[in-house]
A = this chain, B = another copy of it.
Amino acid sequence: MKDNGRSSAQPTIAHVARAAGVSSATAARVLGGYGYAGAETRQRVFDAAKRLAYQPNQLARSMATGRSEMIGVVVADIENLYFARAIRAIIDTASANGFGVVLANTDEDIELERDAVRVLLANRVDGLIVSPTSSIEVDHLIGARDMGCPFVLLDRRVPVLNADTFAIDNFRAAHQAVASLIKQEHRRIALVSNAPSRGEQHYLISSVRERIDGYRAALHDAGIQIVPKLIILGGWDTENLARQLRQLCQSANRPTAFLATDSSVALVLLNVLRELDLSIPDKVSLICFDDADWTAAVTPPLTVVSQPIRDLAKAATEDLIARLQGEATGPAKETLLQATMIDRGSVSSALARPSVKRRTSAAGN
């Protein structure tokens, strides 16, 4: 155990101290940047440290201080553009504040999420940024907090946790998007999501639920009947989603417009529409969430709901760090950022098309 596994032993503070001819406490003080030290002593220590290529051992420091300067990030899928942007912003913000980032992926699987939190806790991250998979199975998060590891919620709300939350105003965003479609005389508007199709409404993560709510509200406000079949919960299997979409598009009263709850879902929809030769925006209109870079490059460019996820992630990280440093110890607060619609041409008036049924009611199944 002497060698510690590392072949060339790392120099420690003790080595530096000896080389500088001071006590290790003194060396530690100057190297750690705390406590007092004489100017000349300082210099000697720094010199010795450089000479030995000393690298502080954060692990040992963490042991002694009880803080690891690491924050854990738990999200569903790093490959998803939305989360990728979030993680990027988190890393940037964290490292600007001297924190490292340990990343875990859950794939929307609550067991993986539990494992992830356990591992992060074992590694004594100072805090957690979580985009929870479930709004009801949150015992592990409560556990984390009980163990003194605070967390903030990103993108998804879980009121019972009573934690600082950073989310998009999904209700409003969806409402606005649907309202704009209605203004273009669309009456049969479908909402397409990759939310799980089984299970209670209650199980939906808040973002999707709120978008559905916004969708319903907009229809309701316009006096349009809500047709359950037009709300597609595709689940995480894209093949299944594609199948549902094909069926919907081939039905007698196919929708004239779609609202996709994220860009990957929109992609599936796009493929189905092409397959069925339903051109945008002539035959159908489309708005999707997420201003993915490709949405501006397809033909026609897609009208999107742009979400300020980077700002959101940055705010979440700063908030967490502030709390870790003892500032901002108030009650849980919720930060809701507004999305903005970017009109790009995938929406056209339903009136321009010949064979569109315009009866408001009784049209659905």
Q: Mark A85-112, 1 if CB is under 8 A from B, else 0.
A: 1011001100100001111110000000
A window 61-91: CB within 8 A of B: 62-68, 70, 77-79, 81, 84-85, 87-88, 91
- Interface status of A10 (Cβ within 8 A of chain B): yes
- Interface status of A161 (Cβ within 8 A of chain B): no
- Cβ A146 vs Cβ B87 within 8 A: no
- Cβ A79 vs Cβ B85 within 8 A: yes
- Cβ A148 vs Cβ B6 within 8 A: yes
- Interface status of A276 (Cβ within 8 A of chain B): no
This protein's copies in its complex: 2
- Interface status of A118 (Cβ within 8 A of chain B): yes
A59 proximity list for chain B (CB < 8 A): 59, 62-63, 68, 123-124
- Interface status of A201 (Cβ within 8 A of chain B): no
A294 to B63, CA, bound (A): 47
Q: Mark A273-295, 1 if CB is under 8 A from B, else 0.
A: 01000000000000000001110
A window 289-347: CB within 8 A of B: 292-294, 296-299
Contacts A123-B59, A267-B294, A298-B294 given: A101-B100 contact, CB under 8 Å? no
A56 to B119, CA, bound (A): 10
A window 207-228: CB within 8 A of B: none
- Cβ A60 vs Cβ B63 within 8 A: yes
Q: Mark A38-76, 1 if CB is under 8 A from B, else 0.
A: 000000000000000101111110111111101000000
Q: Mark A1-31, 1 if CB is under 8 A from B, else 0.
A: 1001111101000000000000000000000
Contacts A100-B102, A101-B102 given: A122-B87 contact, CB under 8 Å? no
A158 proximity list for chain B (CB < 8 A): none
A67 to B67, CA, bound (A): 19
A88 proximity list for chain B (CB < 8 A): 77-79, 105
- Cβ B267 vs Cβ A65 within 8 A: no
- Cβ B118 vs Cβ A5 within 8 A: no
- Interface status of A138 (Cβ within 8 A of chain B): no
Distance in angstroms from A115 CB to nearest chain B CB is 8
A6 proximity list for chain B (CB < 8 A): 66, 147-149
Give the interface centre of A56, A59, A143, A296 by most chain B CB atoms within 10 Å. Answer: A59
- Cβ B10 vs Cβ A148 within 8 A: yes
A window 116-133: CB within 8 A of B: 116, 118-124
Contacts A6-B148, A58-B124, A147-B55 given: A91-B63 contact, CB under 8 Å? no
A56 to B121, CA, bound (A): 9
A116 proximity list for chain B (CB < 8 A): 95
Choose one: B64, B95, B122, B293; the contact of A267 (CB below 8 Å).
B293
A100 proximity list for chain B (CB < 8 A): 102, 104, 119-120, 123
A59 to B149, CA, bound (A): 15
A148 proximity list for chain B (CB < 8 A): 5-8, 10
Choose one: B57, B105, B294; the contact of A122 (CB below 8 Å).
B57
A window 145-170: CB within 8 A of B: 146-149
Distance in angstroms from A124 CB to nearest chain B CB is 5
A349 proximity list for chain B (CB < 8 A): none
Distance in angstroms from A287 CB to nearest chain B CB is 16
Choose one: B67, B87, B270, B294; the contact of A78 (CB below 8 Å).
B87
- Interface status of A247 (Cβ within 8 A of chain B): no
Which 8 interchain pairs have the tightest Cβ spacing?
A6-B148, A4-B66, A294-B294, A5-B66, A58-B122, A270-B297, A58-B123, A298-B298
